[in-house]
Amino acid sequence: DELRLYLAVKNIRIVAPIPGKSTIGIEVPNSMREDVFLGDILHQNLSLRPKKDLSILIGKDISGKLVSIDLNKLPHLLVAGTTGSGKSVCLNSMISSLVVHLSPEEVRFIMIDPKMVELTLYEDIPHLLMPVITDPKKATRALAWAIQEMEARYHSVSKLKCRDFKTYNEKVEQGAHRDGYKKMPYIVIFIDELADLMMVSGKDLEDAITRITQK
């Protein structure tokens, strides 16, 4: 409290000790906040982004460097929050990050939007595997298809003796496609208002999601 009073700020964060040093750090917020716009960081990232990367930009750190998360290392993500807290903005930012940098040959989407509000605006993008799904019954069937596709892909990855999907595609690029194998795009599934969807679809949908997230 005395430090906050002396520095005339509402909050501070203390890092004690700083990793690798015998000192402590005191993080003080700027008096003027900087607005971070998605378009700006996407443009800034064009020259920095590795090819075929599934990273999603989420903002900047305290030093102004871009912060991203890699869906290869974070394959199952649940976004939760109160009404108006920015869940939809977060979801749209994720989709935009992938669409801007990856072609339909590199990533494809399955979008489920039972309320027909947030995801239907992506109806015409070429990355969609199927039209945006608004019917709960069709959503369950789409996830059942995704499970079959997932199992088939795991079989192909195993046949080429690869440990992951990225290594599989790299092997195919190096010539394994001559044996009947072909490159496969990543598939990312977006579900808006999952709680509402599960109330309508029940156990079948829950079982399908469980199967996917177990892999």
Q: Is 96 annotated as a binding residue?
A: no
Q: Is 140 annotated as a binding residue?
A: no
CA distances from 143 to 34, 78, 108, 153 (A): 40, 17, 14, 15
Is domain 103-215 classified as CATH 3.90.1490.10? no
Q: Is 64 annotated as a binding residue?
A: no
Residue 12 confidence (pLDDT) above 90: no
Task: Select from 21, 67, 24 the least CA-distant residue to 44.
Answer: 67
Q: Residue 113 — pLDDT band, cuts 50, 70, 90? A: very high
How much of the chain exceeds pLDDT 90, in percent? 27
Contacts of 13 (CB under 8 A, 6+ apart): 26, 27
- Cα 204 to Cα 200: distance, rounded to the nearest angstrom: 10
Q: Is 82 annotated as a binding residue?
A: yes
For residue range 26-85, what is the model confidence (pLDDT) as tens digits?
Answer: 888 777 777 888 888 887 766 555 555 788 888 888 778 888 888 888 878 888 888 888
Q: Is 25 annotated as a binding residue?
A: no
Domain map (residue ranges) of the chain: 1-33, 34-99, 103-215
| Burial classification of residue 98, based on how many CB atoms lie within 10 Å of its CB (0-12 exposed, 13-18 middle, 19 or more buried) | buried
Q: Is 86 annotated as a binding residue?
A: yes
**Placement of tokens 């499970």 in the chain:** 147
